[in-house]
Structure 1
Amino acid sequence: MKKQKVVVIVGQTASGKTALSLELAQKIGAEIISADSRQVYLGMDLGSGKVTKEEQAIALHHLLDVADPRKDVFTVADFVEQGSEILDKTLKRAVTPIIVGGTFLYVDALLGKISIPKVAPNEEFRASLETCSNDELFAMLAQKDARRASEIDKYNRVRLVRALEIINTLGSVPEVMPSEKYDVYTIGLSIEKEKLHERIHTRLLQRFDEGMIEEVTRLHEEGVSWERLHRFGLEYRHIAAYLQGTIPNKEALIATLDQDIRSFAKRQMTWLTRDKTIHWYPFDAHEQIIADVEGWLAA
């Protein structure tokens, strides 16, 4: 039996995944599944790089705004459960799904390339890590599972502890396998480092102009704790620190955030280069990408 076809778009932050996904979706009549651990949360828009309402009108988007940041903890298991249902329903309607990530762990898990073990919390193990700093936890994870460490926010203590807990319980790293269920065409967007850094900085300034600080202020006023905002990482962590007075001024905020996003993009590339199934293209080669996808779908 012929496998059903799924398109995936991956790339570093600010590499142009959204622009390509919208153009491709319009061209082939596809629907988009967002594979992003922060875009699932309602009201977390600018800080997560969520598509605008106008962009959502171009193509139907799934798994945006499905969780409440004040109380919900949306896990990779939740993503796989909901994403699998959406994938199956979309394919049954003879519509091509485009998975856009984002959070590469989510992409791999949804495609069945990595198993998501059901590991119960181990309070004794967690207690043994309480005296470790975030840097020490990150170093431990990097030694045990370099691939997971390449994507994780190294300041997100909860995720660091959970990743180590899973490895400790299983006694090994969850295996990465080729996708068995779907015929997948994965597009990787390649961009020169200098150009990427320029785009990161430009986008960052634009989001500040559009109200990213005000977004974080509103989230806190609506009941999202400072601790939770820090856990959401990057933009939310830095802006929360700025609003709490830990970062002295906006110039320092922009500088530290800009550098952290660059470091995150570097770690993302470490994850992506290990996947030999990715078809790499220059980030702006939309015409060639669309032609290749159309040819692959027709084959």
Structure 2
Amino acid sequence: MGNMNKVVVIVGTNASGKSGLAIELAKKFNGEIISADSRQVYKGLDVATGKITQEEMDGVPHHLIDVADPTERYTAADFARDGRKVLDDIIARGKLPIIAGGTGFYIDALLNPRLLATVPPNENLRLELEKGSVEDLFEQLRDIDPDRAGDLERKGEKNLKRRIVRAVEVALTAPEHHRETVENEPFDALWIGVRWDDNTSKERIRTRTTQRIEGGMIEEAQQLLQDGLSWERMEELGLEYKHLADYLRDKISKEELIELINRDDWRYAKRQRTWFKRNTEINWFDGGKLNDAQELVREFLK
């Protein structure tokens, strides 16, 4: 097969160091990076999402960043469609595609768009999900399929547990459905995961929040509003943005803003872990010991 259909996928929780590893591998193995982040696709959502800067890219081409207006919705289906074009182009130019990001649903949709079609019922998963609260289920849906969460919110259905349970069920079942039908897929993917222990992960999240506050996250949110982003849409963008919306309307203090962002980013990291745990193809590496990941890629490309 050569390298023609080979793809490297780098996943992990927020603040795990995925981007740094992706750049390192891209420089070593003639690669280009496809960002798989449901919010970094939007223009102007830079500081709060931790979007990589031109300087940090270090000359490595990055794709599917800043491709959508934040006032509009960019879905997993949009990502799968645009990502496939980028994948094909990178491969056609003899480069190695490296998909890096924490939005697992988008990555699965890109590597197998068929999973976006009808997903069969998963009764056991449904029963498990129904034990959760409506609020927790909706936050989980917002993480993995923000477009569907936005649809339910606009229709006034964010408190209809049955609808939310089915939406989460579809998103969580999709990767398993995908792995049952991969025989005809055109990509040979090497999955690499970056992980840290809980204490280190929490500390990295706290450090990142401080850096973002100091880096202009609040001012960026104010600019988005001035540019026409509605309060409702800002809240839909989730995580930092829903708390920034409250802060800018004087509903919470700056200290509360920081505390809530740290709390929700950690909760999100745990949900990401749960998502990626379902994928047994991922080769996990401790964040401080990534040299072995290079060797794995080298063997994969032989």
TM range (shorter): 0.7 to 0.9
Counting aligned pairs with the same residue, the percent is: 41
Matches within 5 A, 1:35-184: 35-70=36-71, 72-112=72-112, 115-117=115-117, 136=134, 138-139=136-137, 151=144, 158=151, 164=163, 167=166, 174=174, 176-178=177-179, 179=182, 180-184=185-189
Determine the C-alpha separation between the residues in 1 that align with 2:281 and 2:207.
31
Determine the C-alpha separation between the residues in 1 that align with 2:114 and 2:104.
11
Determine the C-alpha separation between the residues in 2 that align with 1:87 and 1:243.
40
**Quick check: 1:18 aligned with 2:22?**
no
Tell me: CA distance 1:56–1:136, structure 2 relative to 1, closer, same or farther (3 Å): same
Q: Which runs of 4+ in 1 moved over 3 A?
A: 148-153, 156-168, 170-175
Determine the C-alpha separation between the residues in 1 that align with 2:143 and 2:98.
24
* 1:114 CA drift (Å): 5.8
Letter in 2 for 1:164: R
Instruction: Pick the structure with more helix per residue.
Output: 2
Letter in 1 for 2:229: V
Determine the C-alpha separation between the residues in 1 that align with 2:152 and 2:278.
22
Q: 2:13·2:272 contact (CA, 8 Å) conserved in 1?
A: yes
Determine the C-alpha separation between the residues in 1 that align with 2:178 and 2:198.
29
Determine the C-alpha separation between the residues in 2 that align with 1:289 and 1:277.
14
Tell me: CA distance 1:61–1:94, structure 2 relative to 1, closer, same or farther (3 Å): same
CA RMSD of aligned residues (A): 2.9
Structure 1: tracts of 5 or more residues without a match: 120-133
Determine the C-alpha separation between the residues in 2 that align with 1:187 and 1:36.
16
Q: 2:77·2:113 contact (CA, 8 Å) conserved in 1?
A: no
* 1:138 CA drift (Å): 4.6
Tell me: CA distance 1:8–1:16, structure 2 relative to 1, closer, same or farther (3 Å): same
Determine the C-alpha separation between the residues in 2 that align with 1:224 and 1:73.
12
Letter in 2 for 1:195: T
* 1:137 CA drift (Å): 6.0
Which residue in 2 is equivalent to 1:237?
A: 242
* 1:261 CA drift (Å): 0.6
Aligned mate of 2:270, from 263, 266, 270:
266
Which residue in 2 is equivalent to 1:220?
A: 225
* 1:157 CA drift (Å): 5.2
Matches within 5 A, 1:270-285: 270-285=274-289
Which residue in 1 is equivalent to 2:125?
A: none
Per-residue CA deviations over 1:73-107 (Å, capped at 9, x if unaligned) read 11111101100011011111111000011211000
Which residue in 2 is equivalent to 1:292?
A: 296
Which residue in 1 is equivalent to 2:196?
A: 191
Determine the C-alpha separation between the residues in 2 that align with 1:69 and 1:157.
13
Q: 1:39·1:48 contact (CA, 8 Å) conserved in 2?
A: yes
Tell me: CA distance 1:68–1:92, structure 2 relative to 1, closer, same or farther (3 Å): same
Question: Normalising by the residue count of structure 1, what TM-score does the alignment of the two structures yield?
Answer: 0.83
Aligned mate of 1:246, from 242, 251, 256:
251
Determine the C-alpha separation between the residues in 2 that align with 1:150 and 1:79.
15
Which residue in 2 is equivalent to 1:4?
A: 5
Tell me: CA distance 1:138–1:114, structure 2 relative to 1, closer, same or farther (3 Å): farther
* 1:117 CA drift (Å): 2.6
Secondary structure in structure 1 of the residue aligned to 2:178 = coil
Determine the C-alpha separation between the residues in 2 that align with 1:197 and 1:137.
23
Determine the C-alpha separation between the residues in 1 that align with 2:101 and 2:51.
11
Aligned length: 274
